Amino acid sequence: MRIKELLNLRFSAAMQAAGIPSECSPTLALSGKPQFGDYQANGAMGAAKRLKTNPRELAAKILENLDLDGIADKLEIAGPGFINIYLSNDFLANSVAQSAVKLKKNANPQTVVVDYSSPNLAKEMHVGHLRSTIIGDSIARVLEYQGHKVVRQNHMGDWGTQFGMLIAELEQHLGEGEQAALALNDLEVFYQQSKKHFDEDPGFADTARAYVVKLQSGDQHCRTLWQKFIDVSVAHNLEIYKELNVGLSREHIMPESAYNNDLQNVLDDLTAQGLAVESDGAKVVFLEELADKNGDPSPMIIQKSGGGFLYATSDLAAMRHRVNNLHADRILYYIDARQSLHMKQVFTAARKAGYAAQTVSLEHHPFGTMMGKDGKPFKTRSGGTVKLADLLVEAVERAERLIREKNTDLDDQEINLIARKVGIGAVKYADLSKTRTNDYIFDWDAMMSFEGNTAPYLQYAYTRIRSIFRKAGIDPQSFSAEINIVEPQEKTLTMKLLQFEEIIDQVASEGYPHILCNYVYELASAFMSFYEQCPVLKDDVAKETQNSRLQLSKQTSETIAQGLDLLGIEVMEKM
Ligand code: ARG
């Protein structure tokens, strides 16, 4: 059980015994400073206000009824009525020993649909897709770790108007005898070419427009061309996911086109319910719930006047699928903050239409933009969009240079492997460790540093612990010893280890991976202070003390590795 949960139960019982109404919470928190104990219960003040009595006296009454035998050594009332709790070292040592058993059984597993990555297939994946891909993946891992059923949905954009232009272009290339794979070798170049064609050649533009309509109405020729294009683009994305160590594969792809046959049904249903109405030839749902300052309802177009369906229509169809067929209890959308209005419209319309009952939690988890060091959206030197594939190659190259500077006794193969983990890890961690709702500055030097809150620092901390075991000639896997807390650094480290599950709970419910990053960083830092103060392998360290410290070291390395794994970052034994 989480320590906070345990304290909460004991305090609630004591408060009740002291005659305090059960709505009053003990409000437990970690103490900010050691002179205030390890945890604080601050609920006496609120309760006293309610009962119109003296908070310090009420705190004393709570203490009279409180049973923390074997859990706390000391309890004290401070200031206006805070209760400071000093946990017992034995209790902490026992708790941490039990926490090492990693048994994940969830009494209330939920089905959580996570919509992430979801790039548009018309172009090559670029840095704009990085954030959704890695933040979404981390949250999916965290939820899975907690024993929930996670259904990843990659809502790829494969159905927009651009595809008419792209397949018209592809048709020309194939007509000239070129192979599809070759023509589409560089999707970015291909896109620019066809765009140029479209803008400069009216005949081509007409064909392109006709092809969109034909494609969407199921024309075989257009469909075949489209499929060729999609296959190449999807293959490219899957390669990136693999390189990024992201858990998305073919089976998670549920693109916009998959809902094509359901779009008319959505429209018919919304019309029958009186929610979609005609407006200038289009079909629109007007949402009073999202009215602007003037009281005008927010319009959500379901079908254009020409008959075409829109992004919002697919999202409503996707919502029905996720609720009815996937049985989602929670649906999380990792999408750019600029789509906030779109998401609000989709959620509001879905509730009104009965596509998602109130019991289904609909959550848009937005994120800001990736910026360059100049404070403008991240671009290449010549001002183009940065291809994700290029960015990842550069990350690995930079990591390799760094490792070669530091270490000479690794062979080339080891260096390559480590460079991949460090380079990719650095890029991912730099993103994950920032509060996702803010914009963030992409800075190679900062993310590749071995100091501070970075992936290389944490990976290095892990290898350092593993090297202690190598030096001692002990296999950490089979090592186990009793923990005995004596030094304050040992206590701090133990407390940190014990917070892991609480942190995971928070990340799972709020969807902010930076909370986990900060935790792993603090844990590694607590270990470094411990290691400075508490020698492990020195000759004059008693055997029992040594074993206890080795056990703490072992659990720290496992928790760092587990934390990083939930962030999608790999560790290695040496670097
Ligand atoms: N393809 C869209 C884009 O690149 C993102 C889709 C996000 N998911 C969704 N269900 N709308 O902007």
Q: Which atom of ligand 1 is nearest to the CA of 157?
A: 1
Tens digit of pLDDT for each residue in 415-452?
999 999 999 999 999 999 999 999 989 999 999 999 99
User: Partners of 298 in the beta sheet?
Assistant: 287
Residue 411 φ/ψ, nearest 5 degrees:
-85, 170
C-alpha 323 to ligand 1 mean position (Å): 18
> Does some domain include residue 186?
yes
Phi/psi region, residue 274 (left: phi>0; alpha: psi -120 to 50; beta: rest), is: left
Inform me whether the pLDDT recorded for 102 exceeds 80. Answer: no
Residue 52 φ/ψ, nearest 5 degrees:
55, 55
> Does some domain include residue 547?
yes
Contacts for 546-549: CB closer than 8 Å, 24+ residues apart:
547/481, 547/482, 548/481, 548/482, 548/483, 548/484, 548/485, 548/490, 549/490
- By CB atoms closer than 10 A (0-12, 13-18, 19+), residue 6 is middle
Domains identified in the chain, total number: 3
pLDDT given for residue 103 in this prediction: 55
pLDDT given for residue 127 in this prediction: 84
Is 173 found in the same domain as 73?
no
- Ligand 1 test: best mutation among 339, 342, 347, most atoms within 8 Å of CB? 339
C-alpha 115 to ligand 1 mean position (Å): 9
Tens digit of pLDDT for each residue in 302-324?
999 988 899 999 999 999 999 99
CA separation for the pair 216, 160 (Å, rounded): 10
C-alpha 192 to ligand 1 mean position (Å): 22
526 and 496 Cβ atoms separated by less than 8 Å? yes
pLDDT given for residue 161 in this prediction: 87
CA separation for the pair 347, 290 (Å, rounded): 11
Residue bearing the CA closest to ligand 1, atom 6:
118
> Does some domain include residue 54?
yes
| Stretch 499-505: mean pLDDT | 94
pLDDT given for residue 258 in this prediction: 97
Place of tokens 């000639």: 473
471: CATH: 1.10.730.10
Residue 284 φ/ψ, nearest 5 degrees:
-130, 140
> 246, 263, 280: which is the final residue of a domain?
246
| Stretch 220-225: mean pLDDT | 96
> Does some domain include residue 45?
yes
Residue 297 DSSP symbol: P
pLDDT band at 216 (very low <50, low <70, confident <90, very high): confident
436 and 135 Cβ atoms separated by less than 8 Å? yes
Tens digit of pLDDT for each residue in 334-358?
999 999 999 999 999 999 999 999 9
C-alpha 200 to ligand 1 mean position (Å): 30
What do you get for the CA distance between the two ends of the chain, in Å? 36
Residue type, 228: K
257 Cβ inside 6 Å of ligand 1 = no
Which residue blocks in 18-78 are alpha helix, DSSP H? 43-51, 55-65
Question: In percent, how much of the chain has pLDDT > 90?
Answer: 87
Mapping DSSP onto H, E and C, the string for 354-399 reads CCCCCCCEEEECCECCEECCCCCECCCCCCCCCEHHHHHHHHHHHH
C-alpha 101 to ligand 1 mean position (Å): 39
CA separation for the pair 318, 324 (Å, rounded): 10
Computed over every residue of the chain, the mean pLDDT equals 94
C-alpha 76 to ligand 1 mean position (Å): 54
Residue 440 φ/ψ, nearest 5 degrees:
-140, 150
C-alpha 133 to ligand 1 mean position (Å): 11
401 and 138 Cβ atoms separated by less than 8 Å? no
Inform me whether the pLDDT recorded for 117 exceeds 60. Answer: yes
Q: Which residue has the higher pLDDT, 102 or 558?
A: 558
Q: Which tokens is 321 given?
A: 């699928």
256 Cβ inside 6 Å of ligand 1 = no
Tens digit of pLDDT for each residue in 153-168?
999 999 988 999 999 9
pLDDT given for residue 339 in this prediction: 96
> 61, 87, 113: which is the final residue of a domain?
87
119 Cβ inside 6 Å of ligand 1 = yes
335 Cβ inside 6 Å of ligand 1 = yes
C-alpha 545 to ligand 1 mean position (Å): 55
Alpha-carbon dihedral 194, 196, 198, 200, rounded to 10 degrees: -150
Q: Which atom of ligand 1 is nearest to the CA of 335?
A: 7
CA separation for the pair 391, 240 (Å, rounded): 11
DSSP-derived pairing of the beta strands 72-78 and 111-115: unpaired
74: CATH: 3.30.1360.70
pLDDT band at 376 (very low <50, low <70, confident <90, very high): confident
C-alpha 432 to ligand 1 mean position (Å): 20
Residue bearing the CA closest to ligand 1, atom 5:
118
- CA dihedral sign of residues 105, 106, 111, 115: negative
155 Cβ inside 6 Å of ligand 1 = yes
Residue bearing the CA closest to ligand 1, atom 9:
155
Inform me whether the pLDDT recorded for 284 exceeds 80. Answer: yes
316 Cβ inside 6 Å of ligand 1 = no
Structural domain containing residue 80? 3-87
Residue bearing the CA closest to ligand 1, atom 8:
155
C-alpha 118 to ligand 1 mean position (Å): 5
> 205, 221, 246: which is the final residue of a domain?
246
CA separation for the pair 142, 513 (Å, rounded): 9
How many C-beta neighbours within 10 Å does residue 352 have? Answer: 16
> Does some domain include residue 556?
yes
How many C-beta neighbours within 10 Å does residue 274 have? Answer: 7
508 and 143 Cβ atoms separated by less than 8 Å? yes
C-alpha 69 to ligand 1 mean position (Å): 54
CA separation for the pair 458, 421 (Å, rounded): 12
C-alpha 156 to ligand 1 mean position (Å): 7
Tens digit of pLDDT for each residue in 513-557?
999 999 999 999 999 999 999 999 999 999 999 999 999 999 999
> Does some domain include residue 553?
yes
Edge to edge, what strands does the sheet with 72-78 contain?
Answer: 28-30, 39-41, 82-87, 72-78
Q: Which tokens is 415 given?
A: 């260096």
C-alpha 100 to ligand 1 mean position (Å): 40
> Does some domain include residue 474?
yes
Q: Which tokens is 532 given?
A: 């400075």
Q: Which atom of ligand 1 is nearest to the CA of 128?
A: 4
CA separation for the pair 137, 436 (Å, rounded): 14
CA separation for the pair 52, 47 (Å, rounded): 8
Inform me whether the pLDDT recorded for 235 exceeds 60. Answer: yes
Cα atoms found within 13 Å of the Cα of residue 468, Cβ hemisphere only: 24
pLDDT given for residue 101 in this prediction: 53
- Ligand 1 test: best mutation among 155, 340, 346, most atoms within 8 Å of CB? 155
Show Cβ contacts of residue 109 under 8 Å, excluding neighbours closer than 6 positions: 147, 148, 149
Inform me whether the pLDDT recorded for 104 exceeds 70. Answer: no
pLDDT band at 99 (very low <50, low <70, confident <90, very high): confident
How many C-beta neighbours within 10 Å does residue 542 have? Answer: 8
Q: Which atom of ligand 1 is nearest to the CA of 336?
A: 12
157 Cβ inside 6 Å of ligand 1 = yes
CA separation for the pair 35, 78 (Å, rounded): 10
Inform me whether the pLDDT recorded for 408 exceeds 80. Answer: no
Q: Which helix (H) or strand (E) holds 39?
A: strand 39-41
Residue bearing the CA closest to ligand 1, atom 11:
315
- Ligand 1 test: best mutation among 114, 115, 116, 118, most atoms within 8 Å of CB? 118
How many C-beta neighbours within 10 Å does residue 189 have? Answer: 12
CA separation for the pair 558, 546 (Å, rounded): 18
pLDDT band at 567 (very low <50, low <70, confident <90, very high): very high
C-alpha 311 to ligand 1 mean position (Å): 8
C-alpha 157 to ligand 1 mean position (Å): 7
| Stretch 464-491: mean pLDDT | 96
> Does some domain include residue 97?
no
CA separation for the pair 209, 202 (Å, rounded): 11
- Ligand 1 test: best mutation among 125, 335, 365, 388, most atoms within 8 Å of CB? 335
Q: Which atom of ligand 1 is nearest to the CA of 156?
A: 1
pTM, rounded to two decimals: 0.94
pLDDT given for residue 409 in this prediction: 85
Tens digit of pLDDT for each residue in 165-200?
999 999 999 999 898 888 888 898 999 999 999 999
